[in-house]
Structure 1
Amino acid sequence: MSTRITTPFSATSTAAEVVQGVDLTGRRAVVTGGASGIGVETARALAGAGAEVTLAVRDTAAGDRTAADVTATTGNKAVHVARLDLADQDSVAAFTAAWDGPLDILVNNAGIMASPLMRTPQGWEMQFATNHLGHFALARGLHGALAAAGKARVVSVSSSAHLRSPVVFDDIHFATREYEPWAAYGQSKTANVLFAVEGTRRWAGDGITVNAVMPGAIRTNLQRYVSDEELDRLRAQMGGGDFLWKTPEQGASTSVLLATSPLLDGIGGRYFEDCAEAEPATGGSRRGVAAYALDPAAAQRLWEVTEQTLAG
Structure 2
Amino acid sequence: MSNPAFGFETTAEEVAEAHKAEIPGKTILITGVSPNGLGSYTAKVLAMHDPKLLILASRTLSNLEAAQKEIADVAPSAATRLLELDLGSIAKVREAGQKVGSWDDVPKIDILINNAGIMSTPWALSPDGIESQFATNHIGHFLFTNLLMDKIVAAKGRIVNLSSAGHRFGPVRFEDWNFKDGTEYQPDAAYGQAKSANILHAISLAEKLQSKGVTAYSVHPGGIATNLARSVPIEVLQKKGILDEDGNLNKNAPFKFKSHTQGTATTIAAALDPNIADRSGAYLADCKVDHGEVWEKWAQGQDNAEKLWALSEKLVGEPLDV
Which secondary structure state, in structure 2, belongs to the residue aligned with residue 9 of structure 1? coil
Deviation string 1:26-59 (CA, Å, 9 cap, x unpaired) is: 1001110111411111111221121211110111
Q: Give the letter aligned to residue 18 of structure 1.
A: V
Deviation at 1:121, TM superposition (A): 2.1
Within 5 Å, which residues of 2 pair with 1:224-243?
224-235=230-241, 240=252, 243=255
RMSD: 2.0
State the partner residue of 1:90. Answer: 91
Q: Which amino acid aligns with 2:46?
A: L
- In the alignment, which residue of structure 1 is the partner of 2:16? 19
Change beyond 3 A, Cα 1:242–1:129:
closer
**What is residue 180 of structure 1 aligned with on the other side?**
186
Measured against aligned partners, the alpha-carbon deviations of 1:237-276 in whole angstroms (never above 9, x if no partner) come to 9994562111111111100111012222243111111111
Given candidates 135, 156, 163, the residue that maps to 2:161 is 156
* In 1: Cα distance, 2:192 partner to 2:136 partner: 13
Report the Cα distance in structure 2 between the residues aligned to 1:137 and 1:184, rounded to whole angstroms: 19
C-alpha displacement of 1:75:
2.8
Aligned to 1:57: 58
Q: Identify the residue that residue 29 of structure 1 maps to in structure 2.
A: 28
8 Å Cα contact 1:164/1:182 also seen in 2: yes
Whether the aligned pair in 1 keeps the contact of 2:90 and 2:128 (CA below 8 Å) is no
**Residues 273/239 of structure 1: CA separation in 2 closer, same or farther (3 Å cut):** farther
Q: CA deviation at 1:66?
A: 0.9
CA offsets 1:143-187 (integer angstroms, 9 cap, x no match): 10100012x110000011111111111101122550000000000
Indicate yes or no: 2:142 matched with 1:136. Answer: yes
Pick aligned residue for 1:300 from 275, 298, 306: 306
Decide whether aligned partners of structure 1 residues 241 and 171 sit closer, same or farther in structure 2, where only a CA change above 3 A counts: closer
* Corresponding position of 1:120: 126
Aligned pairs, how many? 302
Separation (CA, whole Å) in 2 of partners of 1:298 and 1:157: 18
- The secondary structure found in structure 1 opposite 2:34 is coil
C-alpha separation in 2, matches of 1:33 and 1:154: 15
Choose from 254, 261, 265 the match for 2:266. Answer: 254
CA contact (8 A) 1:119 1:125 kept: yes
Bigger Cα displacement from structure 2, 208-217 vs 40-49: 40-49
Partner of 2:292: 280
Amino acid at match of 1:296: Q
Moved more, 132-141 or 22-31: 22-31
Q: C-alpha distance in 2, partners of 1:77/1:191? A: 33
| Alpha-carbon contact 2:88-2:127 (below 8 Å) kept | no
Unaligned runs of 5+ in 1: 282-287
How has the CA–CA distance of structure 1 residues 183 and 136 changed in structure 2, closer, same or farther, with 3 Å as cutoff?
Answer: same
Question: For the structure 1 residues 236 and 67, does the alpha-carbon distance in structure 2 shift closer, same or farther, using more than 3 Å as the test?
Answer: closer
Query: Is 1:208 the equivalent of 2:218?
Result: no
Q: Which residue of 1 aligns with 2:76?
A: 75
Contact conserved, 2:47 with 2:71, CA < 8 A, in 1? Answer: yes
Can you give the 5+ residue segments of structure 2 that lack an aligned partner in the other structure?
Answer: 244-249
- Code of the aligned partner of 1:264: I
The answer for the alignment partner of 2:247 in structure 1 is: none
Residues 41 and 239 of structure 1: is their aligned pair in 2 closer, same or farther, counting only changes over 3 Å?
Answer: closer
Q: Is the contact made by 1:235 and 1:243 (CA closer than 8 Å) also made in structure 2?
A: no
Partner of 2:45: 45
| Contact 1:119/1:126 (8 A) holds in 2 | yes
Partner of 1:123, secondary structure, is coil
How does the TM-score come out when normalised to structure 1? 0.92
Can you list the C-alpha shifts for 1:280-307, whole angstroms capped at 9, x where unaligned?
A: 14xxxxxx10011012101011001111
Report the CA distance between 1:234 and its aligned residue.
2.5
Which whole-Å CA distance do the structure 2 matches of 1:311 and 1:17 have between them? 42
